[in-house]
Structures are given as C-alpha cells and as structure tokens.
Structure 1
Amino acid sequence: MALRESQARRAEIVRLAKTSGLASVEDLSVQFGVTASTIRRDLSQLTAEGLLARTYGGAIALDPHPESSLRQRAVEGFDAKRSIAKWAAGEVHPGETVLLDAGTTVGAMGEYLRDSTGLTVIAAGLTALEALADADDVRVECLGGTLRHLSQGFVGPLAEASLARVSFDRAFLGADAVTADRGICEAELEQTRLKELMIERAGTVYVLAHAAKLGQRPFHAWAPLPEGVTLVTDAGATEEQVQPFRDAGVTVVVV
C-alpha cells in the first residue's frame, strides 16, 4: 500500500513539474501532506530515473515542451492572430514611434500599418521588417542583434544596446505563453531580458497572445507584466482564462 502511494505521489510530482514549471519542496510537502524529507527522497528517486533535474529548493521536469519554429507558429490560430493584430494596429496613431516585437501575432500588425503616414516602427524581428519593407511612408528602424532562427527575432547585447538609445510611445510584445502571476513566458532568458528592456522604454505596453497561450507555462524564462499593461487576446479565451489577469489589475481586451 505504501509503495503504491509513493509511486502515485511521484507520478503526480512529475506531472506538476511539467505543467507548472518549478516543483518546490515546501509546496509539494503541503500539497501531499508528507514531510519535506519524504519529498526530497521522492525528488532524488525521480532525478536518478532521469525524470527530473534538481534545483535549489525543488526540481524541474527534464522533458520541456519543444519550441516551435516561426513557420510552425504561423499556421497556429491564424484567424485569431489576425484579429488581434488588426485591433492592435488600430491603437497606433500618426506621428507615433512604436516597437513591434518578434513573432507571428505582432508581426502581422505590419500588414495593417503599411498605409500609415508619419509613423516610425522599430522592428525586433524579421516578420515586421518584411511586412513593412516597401511601406514608403513608414520609417522603419531595425533593432539589430543576434538573430534567433526559431523565432526570427533579434536578441543579445547589440539588441539591448540599441534599446538603451530609443524610446517608444507604444510597445507591442509577443509571448510563447503568458500567466497572470508570472508574466510573459519565453524559451530563453535573453528573450525575457529583452522584453524587460522594451517595457522600460515604452509609454504604453500591450501583450498580444491568442487564447491557447493564456495560463500556460511551457518554459522557465519569465518577464513580469508591468503595471498598466493591456493583454489582447481572441474570442476563444474563456472567462476562466482571462479572470486571473483582471484580478491582477491587467486590462484585458478580447477581440
């Protein structure tokens, strides 16, 4: 009986580590009603089996969700992304300077901004650059840096140095996922560091994320949501998904 209970508890610990990211010894001890020493033994066993990797105070799953390429993401939620991009483009006013993050949803905004006049767009990825390449009345600046081939966005010290020299009226950020408590989730820390700098340089911040990304935790790099941020999602989002953001003081727009 005790053996079966231990096996069931360990299986549940692995599931929690996969879905919620970091598994804390303290939290797991409370959740399962066992001592911290018991949880540590569980984690040691699961680490030996190659199912978890130990961290300070807990463990993480070893089989993270693979990051999709930009081409793969382009066909995911296509109509929802276009609706979000169209609404977001309507927030932009003539004469403004705006930043368009890398990614398919934010990149799609470029198609709706092509006929703008007196607009300056700072592009952090190839999608927006391609959409605005021949928009003669739009001034386009490239953030620069190291190109991440999967996301086709620019990252690294050169991108960060560029951000130190500019500011924007509005910043439109993408996300691999977004939660009310942790913020914007990305595959790598250099991506979230860049988003933090973008947020610091922007007057108004929008996060564009279709419904499938809300409340998800596929990776372990995070950028906190700033005060006053607007989350823009699509009509496929449920009340259960959006309410935690509203409770956290985030303005939520469903299009």
Structure 2
Amino acid sequence: MSTIERRHEIVQMTLRDGMVSVTHLANNFQVSEVTVRGDLNYLHKKKLLIRARGGALACNEVPKELSLNEKHCAQIDIKRKLAQLAKLQINEGEAIILDSGSTIAELASCLHSFERLVVMTNGLNVAQNLLNAPGIEVLMTGGVLRKTSLSFYGRQAEDSLERYHFDKAFLGVDGIDFNSGITTHFEYEAIMNRLMRRVAKEVITVADSSKFNRSGVHKICGLAEIDILITDSGIPDAFAQTLERNGVKLIIESLD
C-alpha cells in the first residue's frame, strides 16, 4: 500500500470510528508508529482529521465519500442547471471527455440534441445516459470497474485516454480548496482526471458551491490549472476573486 492509499484509509477509518490510535494504525498497516504519527500530522495540517494525544479524532468538516445514488440526489436541481450551462460550452463536431461524476452524468443527459459529437468517458453511468443519443459516438476507456461510482480506472483506462486528443474535458470534483486545489476521494480517479487534463485542449470543472472549502485526499490539480469553472452563486467571494486573478473563466448560475 502506498503512502497516499494509507492516508486515505486512515481518514476513512477516522470518519467511521470517530477516533483512531497510533498503535492500532501501526498494527493495521504494518508500519512504525513514527510513520503513523507523520501521517496523522500531515492529515491534521490538511484539516482532514484532528490530531489528539495518542491518535486522532474525526473532523466534522471532512465530507465522507458519497455513494453514486447519494451524489445523484444531493443538490440535484443545481446540478441540472449547471449541466445546462456546461452544454453551452460544447460545439457540434467536437471530441470531448466526460468523467464519471454525478454532475457530469447530468451533462450527458443534456447532449441528445447534438448531431455530431464524440464523447470519451470512464463512467458507466455517463455512457448509459448517452445510449439513446444517435448523433453521439461514445468511446469507453475500459479498465477496472469501481462499483461504488460506476467508474473505470487502471492501466487499460489510462492507455485508452493516451491514444486520443480532445477539444475539452469536463471534470466533476469532490472538493475545491485554496491549499489543496481541485481534489477527489479516490486515488485512481485523481490519476484519471489528471490524464484527462493532459489530453484535452481545454479543462472545464463543473461543481456546485457546496464543494468549496472542502478537500478530498487526492489532488487533481491546482486552482489555476483549469480553464473554466461552472458553479452557482454560492461560491465564496474569496474563491471567485482568486480564480479570476489566475485567469480562470467563471460561469455562475444564480440561486435566486
């Protein structure tokens, strides 16, 4: 298990049990207590848990990873509005990437009116939403299926992406934070998203404002490394100013 994977598991254990001890973690992961203390100090600095004597406590501000059904239900009306705004960024004849996020799955449902569009996705849910879209050629990355998110990952999925070049990549995220940047909970999802960024001319993040000031364990990219952010008017002013200062185009849906 890598350091990143171990730290992700520590956060999940802390959220599940409320608290963890250094001794228990060291035995569980077969590493030294010195290593565990380093992990806990790192995660404390990232505000992913609260360091305590002999271990750590769960941080109430840390969001757990939601199941696909939970993600679909959360903020659904806003997600559908953001999906409509994202659709306006797509032109006939383009080749685009859609990741497996719940907001991006809503975007896929909006695309049936296109007559010429190529869509690559690692999301089984996204592909299902495009089944009845005759004008869209759907490419799947293949790979290992992660059942909780209906997303594919792994070497096969990465190889599939590397063989193409796309006009735009649309990414959904779990958290947007000043220090951590754009993040997600699952390491291999972050790897896929970073690769999607590299093979696309333009990167568009679609995220409702509940994702701000939240941080997943795995970084996708810095705030300045996206081209467009589509969100709602609940975005904190400090984030809006920072993003615009770094050349990121903001498209904001009113909550009124």
Shared fold (TM-score, shorter chain, > 0.5) = yes
Name the CA distance, whole Å, in 2 between partners of 1:228 and 1:79: 24
Per the alignment, residue 186 of structure 1 pairs with 184
Q: Is the CA contact 1:95–1:118 (under 8 Å) kept in the aligned structure 2? A: yes
Q: CA deviation at 1:186?
A: 1.1
Per the alignment, residue 84 of structure 1 pairs with 82
Residue 224 of structure 1 pairs with residue 221 of structure 2: yes
**Which of 126, 134, 137 is 1:136 aligned to?**
134
Amino acid at match of 1:54: R
Q: Is the CA contact 1:108–1:127 (under 8 Å) kept in the aligned structure 2? A: no
Q: Is the CA contact 1:180–1:248 (under 8 Å) kept in the aligned structure 2? A: no
**Which of 150, 153, 159 is 2:151 aligned to?**
153
Residue 243 to residue 157, structure 1, CA distance change in 2 (3 Å):
same
Amino acid at match of 1:252: L
Q: Is the CA contact 1:170–1:205 (under 8 Å) kept in the aligned structure 2? A: yes
Q: Is the CA contact 1:183–1:223 (under 8 Å) kept in the aligned structure 2? A: yes
SS at match of 1:105: helix
Amino acid at match of 1:165: R
SS at match of 1:195: helix
Q: CA deviation at 1:240?
A: 3.6
Using the size of structure 2 for normalisation, the TM-score is 0.74
Amino acid at match of 2:123: G
Q: CA deviation at 1:180?
A: 3.9
Q: CA deviation at 1:146?
A: 1.2
Per the alignment, residue 93 of structure 1 pairs with 91
SS at match of 2:120: strand
Structure with greater Cα Rg: 1
Residue 162 of structure 1 pairs with residue 160 of structure 2: yes
Q: CA deviation at 1:212?
A: 0.2
Residue 118 to residue 242, structure 1, CA distance change in 2 (3 Å):
same
Instruction: Structure 1: give runs of 5+ residues left out of the alignment.
Output: 1-17, 19-45
Using the size of structure 1 for normalisation, the TM-score is 0.75
Per the alignment, residue 23 of structure 1 pairs with none
What are the Cα deviations for residues 131-167 of structure 1, in whole angstroms up to 9, with x where unaligned? Answer: 1111111111112111112221111111101111111
Q: Is the CA contact 2:63–2:214 (under 8 Å) kept in the aligned structure 1? A: no
What are the Cα deviations for residues 196-217 of structure 1, in whole angstroms up to 9, with x where unaligned? Answer: 1100000111011100001211
SS at match of 2:37: strand
Residue 173 of structure 1 pairs with residue 171 of structure 2: yes
Residue 55 of structure 1 pairs with residue 38 of structure 2: yes
Q: Is the CA contact 1:121–1:138 (under 8 Å) kept in the aligned structure 2? A: yes
SS at match of 1:81: helix
Per the alignment, residue 205 of structure 2 pairs with 207
Q: Is the CA contact 1:186–1:220 (under 8 Å) kept in the aligned structure 2? A: yes
Instruction: Structure 2: give runs of 5+ residues left out of the alignment.
Output: 1-10, 12-20, 26-32, 44-48, 50-55
The percent of aligned pairs where both chains have the same amino acid is: 28
SS at match of 1:246: helix
Residue 180 to residue 117, structure 1, CA distance change in 2 (3 Å):
farther
Residue 129 to residue 215, structure 1, CA distance change in 2 (3 Å):
same
Per the alignment, residue 41 of structure 1 pairs with none
Q: Is the CA contact 1:144–1:159 (under 8 Å) kept in the aligned structure 2? A: yes
Name the CA distance, whole Å, in 2 between partners of 1:56 and 1:153: 28
Q: CA deviation at 1:170?
A: 0.5
SS at match of 2:69: helix
SS at match of 1:55: helix
Q: CA deviation at 1:56?
A: 6.3
Residue 89 to residue 234, structure 1, CA distance change in 2 (3 Å):
same
